[in-house]
Structure 1
Amino acid sequence: MGAGRPVVLLHGLFSSAYVNWIKFGTAKQIADAGFRVIMPDLRAHGDSAAPHDPAAYFDDVLVCDVEALIAHLGLDDYDLGGFSLGSRTTVRAVIRGMTPRRIVLGGVGLEGLAGWRNRKRFFVEAIAMAETAKRGDPHWLSIQFMKTMKIDTVAAGLLLETFADTDPSLLTVLTMPTLLVCGSEDDDNGSAESLEAVLPNARLAIVPGTHMSSVTSPEMGVAIAKFLTN
């Protein structure tokens, strides 16, 4: 969407490019600020393939997919960002050597990077309980979202096993300007303030909402567009 300097945005777990970035106007706000917004559906999400072959799910496979996309598009000067899973993928991509000019990390705190195994366990449980969980169960909303998004739970389960904890000492390589953008009621992935404290060049923007609702907030697009244009 749009034309200008490329910015690649990665959606969250069980979501899609459309739901995360297009449906609520975030991508348009960024495009209107003068950017070419590139929004892939990640493996096992949206319109992308969801293979059941375990060989298709190796460590950091989403990072490899993003690297392949950047190479395919011939991008050598670009910005990169994401929300939740997209943020984790962005961080892992930079640690592996990708060099975006600026990065955006939405809906994530230090604990969400360093303690991913605990978060992964929650989603593995949600998949297992997809047909049995009752309203009021802490997994309920995630299960309903999976069903709404028509997630292939076999592929999702395989994909979850490809994510690893990120040693906080590795975050020192994230020296580029970094925006942390997080909902005022979002602590699903830990404290954004704690992540800001360890990143060399980060600023924090708080927008209204929880982890699920903050991506619907127009303030999300405003914060990202403002950061990218400064």
Structure 2
Amino acid sequence: MPETVTTSYFRGWAGTRLALHRMGPASGGSGRPLLLFHGLFSSAAINWVKYGHAERLAQAGFEVIMPDLRAHGMSEAPHDATAYPEDVLVTDALMLVRELGLEPGGFELGGFSLGSRTATRAVLAGLEPRRLILAGMGLEGLAGWARRSAFFLDAIARYGTIKHGDPAYVAQQFMKAQKVDLRAAELLLQSVDDTPPADLAGITMPTLVVCGAVDHDNGSAPRLAQTLPNARYAEIPGTHMSSVTQKELGQQMVEFLTS
């Protein structure tokens, strides 16, 4: 039978109402929790549900738990700057894990792009998943967030005026399609921190780094896998935007989590 998604809400930092989507397992039993964070300007529905990744993971026996990050999807997007302190997405993640009662080593963790940054920094802040998946992420994307953030802040500042052929055009069109709240997105972008490569020595659990073959938006994924103490790299088809639509992403995730 096809899996169904259930949606509830929890309170993150400063009481922000955040959406939480769940899927699986098909048998109705209790699967191993798998917490997944989506990418920038996206949502759980777009990154994990639409292209079948969540269903594939649920069919493999996992309880797939997918929050919409603040200012994304069905979650609140406050315009008050105090709702976006440094690393607020990590704070939200830690609060969610406490809310769910997930024990160290008792759950899996993964993300795509911004979700990978969030997962990485959440582990460095104390989360202890059994295994970790970092998708759509390279070493420079973790260490050089200021440059990446500046690109998107520029796209927001010029929103509605960016013409085809401009490097920021695709970002503008994606923001339009997702109906991104520009003020909330601006505040959120300014809250995300860099992760120096030396800090990655603290991520010791088995890790899968999976990235599109022509996805260089966040730097080198093979270099990220080489830098992490216990990681392997898997290549899938696609660019940064298209790789998340490929069935191979979900297949690699299932293979890693069940091997």
**TM-score, normalised by the number of residues in structure 2:** 0.88
The whole-number CA distance in structure 2 between the counterparts of 1:166 and 1:73 is: 26
Structure 1 unaligned residues grouped into runs of 5+: none
Structure 1 runs of 4+ off > 4 angstroms?
none
Q: Alignment partner of 1:14: what SS? A: coil
Offset at 1:197?
Answer: 1.1
One-letter code aligned to 1:59: E
Offset at 1:157?
Answer: 0.1
Q: 1:153 aligns with which of 182, 185, 210?
A: 182
Structure holding more strand per residue:
2
Structure 2 unaligned residues grouped into runs of 5+: 1-22, 26-30
Aligned to 1:117: 146
Aligned to 2:54: 27
Aligned to 1:54: 81
Tell me whether 1:2 sits opposite 2:29 in the alignment.
no
The whole-number CA distance in structure 2 between the counterparts of 1:108 and 1:68 is: 24
Identity of aligned residues (%): 59
Q: C-alpha offsets along residues 84-143 of structure 1, whole Å, 9 cap, x if unaligned? A: 000000010011111011000000000000011100000000101111100111000011
The whole-number CA distance in structure 1 between the counterparts of 2:196 and 2:51 is: 34
The whole-number CA distance in structure 1 between the counterparts of 2:172 and 2:95 is: 31
Aligned to 1:194: 223
Q: Alignment partner of 2:205: what SS? A: coil
Q: Aligned residue pairs: how many?
A: 230
One-letter code aligned to 1:118: R
Q: 1:205 aligns with which of 234, 243, 248?
A: 234
Written as runs of structure 1 = structure 2, the 5 A alignment for 1:72-111 is 72-76=99-103, 77-111=106-140
Written as runs of structure 1 = structure 2, the 5 A alignment for 1:160-179 is 160-179=189-208
The whole-number CA distance in structure 1 between the counterparts of 2:71 and 2:184 is: 6
The whole-number CA distance in structure 1 between the counterparts of 2:94 and 2:178 is: 25
One-letter code aligned to 2:172: I
Q: C-alpha offsets along residues 56-95 of structure 1, whole Å, 9 cap, x if unaligned? A: 0001100111111111111111011100000000010011
Q: 1:11 aligns with which of 32, 38, 44?
A: 38
CA-atom RMSD in angstroms: 0.6
Aligned to 1:63: 90
Greater RCO, CA 8 A, separation 6+: 1
Q: Alignment partner of 1:39: what SS? A: strand
**TM-score, normalised by the number of residues in structure 1:** 0.99
